[in-house]
Chain A
Amino acid sequence: MDRKEGKLTMKIPKLFILFGILSLALSACAPKALKKCEVFPKMYAERPMSILVLPPINETTAADAKEYYATTVAEPLSLSGYYVFPIEVISEILKSEGAYDTEALVDVDPKKFREYFGADGVMYIRIKKWDTAYYVIGGNVTVGVHCLLKSTNSGDILWEYDGIIVYDTTARSSGGGLGGLIAAVIITAIQTATTDYVPIAKRVNYMVLQTIPAGKYNPRCDQDRDDPVVVRKTTK
């Protein structure tokens, strides 16, 4: 009897330590995380190496958004380890073939992109938000996108994610009082109007693309199956 109790009391602290360590490790990352291989199993099954990014579809009223955004995709996607076809060259070739808008290419069979360019996957990007907002003592810029990667073998969706970033353009006044406040309002207005979208678009891309399983050129290729991914509902 005594011995049994002894064993029990030994077990409890061990379990506590185990739980403690695990919960610490979990809390360091996001709470609602799933594993990459659970969320994007087809990505691991098909292992695409090269990705053709179509010119983004602009669903906002900002005329510049498409051009701005298109220049910021190649960098983060290449860092994820994929061969990214030169977006500029691709969009000129598509134009020379009569495809001026990606809207017209959405219904094209993804297999065509394998035949024509030798791509393993096609990326469709929709720009959902590209807004500038002012309020009395502040301002911000919002950039939101939805990205979808389709296989050119099966036509299946391999990976899909969306991201949104709100960038605060409110000026911080160092001096207090009414004078400082007025100065801050003016600076905010100027900063919001002339905000450089390139770094903001880049940040959205990095945020979105860190969820894509690493490709061939990234050293973590195939080692990120258990990496956590936060799954969220589509932002609208």
Chain B
Amino acid sequence: MRRSVLLFLLLGFLAGCATQKPLYYWGNYSRSLYKYKKSPTEENLKTHKAVLLKIMEESSKMNLRVPPGVCCEYGYLLLKEGKKEEALHYFDLEEKAYPESKPFLDRLRAKWIGKKEN
């Protein structure tokens, strides 16, 4: 009895210190986003979009869920370029992976897509 309690305690402590395999592949996200924000040129936007696409591709290759927000961010950039249909596709991908994003995505869909149509 005492021994099992001890073992349990030890395991708990060890687990707290152990490193885990990452949940997501984020690629070069921070860097390319920062560059684009610092100087919002066409080229930096292109690079950031490529990074977002690569995150989606690599994630599916590695059998990981796409990190939260990535599909939505990509869709949003497409929306700003006027590519409504494509944007909606990526919003749907985001919702499929993370159902909790639905209220937010619905707002995006209504607000932006409704606005562009009028």
Interface residues of A (CB under 8 A from B): 18, 21-22, 25-26, 28-29, 49-50, 64, 67-68, 70-72, 74-75, 78-79, 81-89, 92-93, 116-120, 198, 202, 217-220, 224, 226-228
Contact A29 B16 (CB under 8 A): yes
B residues whose Cβ falls under 8 Å from a Cβ of A? 2, 6, 9-10, 12-14, 16-17, 20, 22-24, 26, 29-31, 33-34, 37-38, 65, 67-70, 72-73, 76, 98, 100-104, 107-108, 111
Q: Is the CB of A86 within 8 A of B26?
A: no
Having A88-B73, A116-B107, A117-B103, one finds 9 other A-B pairs with CB under 8 Å, namely: A28-B14, A67-B38, A72-B30, A74-B67, A85-B68, A85-B101, A89-B73, A117-B104, A228-B16
A-B contact count (CB 8 A): 110
Contact indicator B34/A68 (Cβ below 8 Å): yes
Contact of A71 among B34, B65, B72, B76 (CB under 8 A): B34
Instruction: Write the nearest CB–CB distance from B8 to chain A, whole angstroms.
Output: 10
Residues in A whose Cβ lies below 8 Å from that of B72: 85-86, 89
Q: Across the interface, name the chain B residue whose C-beta is closest to A217.
A: B23
CA distance A208 to B45 in the complex (A): 30
Could you say which residues of chain A place their CB within 8 Å of the CB of B14? 25, 28
**Within the assembled complex, what's the spacing in Å between the Cα atoms of A84 and B29?**
14
25 chain-A/chain-B pairs, Cβ below 8 angstroms: A25-B14, A26-B13, A29-B16, A50-B100, A50-B101, A64-B38, A67-B38, A68-B34, A71-B33, A71-B34, A72-B30, A75-B24, A78-B67, A79-B23, A84-B69, A85-B68, A85-B72, A86-B68, A86-B72, A89-B76, A93-B108, A117-B107, A119-B104, A120-B100, A198-B34
State in angstroms the CA–CA spacing of A29 and B16 once bound together: 9
Do A25 and B68 form a contact, CB below 8 Å, given A83-B100, A89-B108?
no
